[in-house]
């Protein structure tokens, strides 16, 4: 193991669907505990970690809009789903002795603190894992966009995207076995080729702030730490 990890401060974006495990809905606590253990390993390496979790395991705002409902209300409901997931992850982290705090873009002081860039940075500097809930606090923006925004705000060295597959492919590898897998790809190529890494707003924001995106399988136990050590299987999205 190298003396220093590859990145000093990172933001981990986990999909809400990942928290379901084999269930069709909700939260599989064993999966949340495993993700918490991966974060704890990174902290033991001296890496500062912040987290954004999606809410797709509980609710998707776009699903409401697709059925003729109000998109703004649907997105607000989705934001509440991210708060539920964030509280679950904090519980798992605290359970194993990792100091963690949830900061929400939507004020709900009875449940967690409200987000501010200054407070978030102070908590990270103090060694806490900061979990950002509530997306950006605005409708029409995904949690991918929230992750890229928060990564820029805290000065993250990299944005880790934990997905269902082990990197970026030219097509869905589950449907197309001949899909090409990339070890490295630029932000611009992701945008030009319409690759489904993150939404275009998130990719553009990461590119503008020179933040590499590390795409890896969140289901690989210890995969987060392995990549931080310069090992592991992933795709790096960067212009360098």
Structural domain spans, the chain: 9-237
Residue 65: the pLDDT is: 67
Is the pLDDT at 98 greater than 50, yes or no? yes
Residue 206 has pLDDT above 90, yes or no: yes
Give the integer Cα–Cα distance in Å for 48 and 157.
10
CATH topology of domain 9-237: Carbamate kinase (3.40.1160)
Percent of the chain residues past pLDDT 70, beyond the cut: 97
Beta partners for 168? 182
User: Are the C-beta atoms of residues 128 and 101 closer than 8 Å to each other?
Assistant: yes
User: What are the angstrom distances between the C-alpha of 238 and each of 14, 54, 126, 199, 213?
Assistant: 19, 23, 29, 16, 7
Backbone phi, psi, residue 223, to 5°: -65, -35
- In this prediction, residue 66 carries a pLDDT of 73
Average pLDDT over residues 22-44: 95
Q: Calculate mean pLDDT across residues 164-184.
A: 89
Whether residue 117 is predicted with pLDDT greater than 90 in this model: the reply is: yes
Q: Does residue 16 carry a pLDDT above 70?
A: yes
**Per-residue pLDDT reduced to its tens digit, 181-193:** 999 999 999 999 8
Per-residue pLDDT at 126: 97
> Quick one: CA dihedral 82, 53, 209, 172, positive or negative?
negative
Strand partners, 51: 12, 131
Report the run of H or E that residue 215 belongs to, with start and end.
strand 213-217
């Amino acid at each position: 193991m190298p003396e220093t990890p590859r990145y000093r401060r990172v933001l981990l974006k986990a999909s809400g669907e990942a928290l379901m495990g084999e269930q069709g809905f909700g939260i599989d606590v064993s999966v949340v505990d495993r993700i918490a253990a991966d974060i704890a390993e990174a902290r033991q390496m001296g890496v500062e970690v912040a987290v954004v979790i999606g809410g797709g395991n509980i609710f998707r705002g776009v699903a409401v809009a697709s059925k003729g409902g109000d998109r703004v209300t649907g997105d607000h409901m989705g934001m509440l789903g991210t708060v539920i997931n964030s509280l679950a992850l904090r519980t798992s982290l605290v359970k194993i002795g990792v100091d963690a705090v949830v900061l929400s873009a939507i004020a709900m002081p009875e449940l967690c603190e409200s987000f501010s860039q200054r407070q978030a940075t102070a908590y990270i500097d103090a060694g806490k894992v900061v979990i950002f809930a509530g997306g950006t606090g605005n409708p029409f923006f995904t949690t991918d966009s929230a992750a890229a925004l928060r990564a820029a705000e805290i000065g993250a060295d990299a944005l880790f995207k934990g997905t269902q597959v082990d990197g970026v492919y030219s097509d869905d590898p589950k449907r197309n076995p001949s899909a090409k897998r990339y070890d490295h790809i630029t932000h611009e190529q992701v945008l030009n080729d319409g690759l489904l890494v993150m939404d275009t707003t998130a990719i553009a924001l990461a590119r503008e702030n020179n933040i590499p995106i590390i795409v890896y399988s969140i289901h690989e136990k210890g995969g987060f730490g392995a990549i931080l050590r310069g090992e592991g299987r992933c795709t790096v999205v960067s212009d360098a």
